[in-house]
A = this chain, B = another copy of it.
Amino acid sequence: MGVEPLIRVGDDFEDEYPGASGLATECYANLWRAADLLMELHNRQTLEEYQLSPSGRQILAVVEGAGEPLEPTVIAERLLVTTGSVTSLLDNLEKRGLIRRLPHPEDRRKLLIDITPAAQDIVDKLLPSMHARERDLMDGALSTSEQRQLLGFITKLQQAAIQARSAPVPRGATRRRRGRPQRH
State the A residues within 8 Å of B (CB): 2-6, 17-21, 23-28, 30-41, 45, 49, 67-68, 114, 116-117, 120, 124-125, 127-142, 144, 146-151, 153-162, 164-165, 169-175, 177, 179-181, 183-184
- Complex interface: chain B residues within 8 A of A159 (CB): 2, 141
- A30 nearest CB across to chain B (Å): 5
Closest 6 CB pairs of A and B: A128-B172, A67-B180, A35-B35, A24-B138, A20-B131, A37-B161
- Listed A/B pairs (5) with beta-carbon separation below 8 Å: A25-B131, A31-B154, A67-B179, A128-B172, A130-B172
Query: In the bound complex, how far is the Cα of B146 from the Cα of A134, in angstroms?
Result: 23
Interchain CB contact (< 8 A) of A41 among B132, B138, B161: B161
Query: In the bound complex, how far is the Cα of B44 from the Cα of A165, in angstroms?
Result: 9
Asked if B175 and A124 make an inter-chain contact with CB atoms under 8 angstroms apart, the answer reads: yes
Interchain CB contact (< 8 A) of A148 among B6, B23, B183: B23
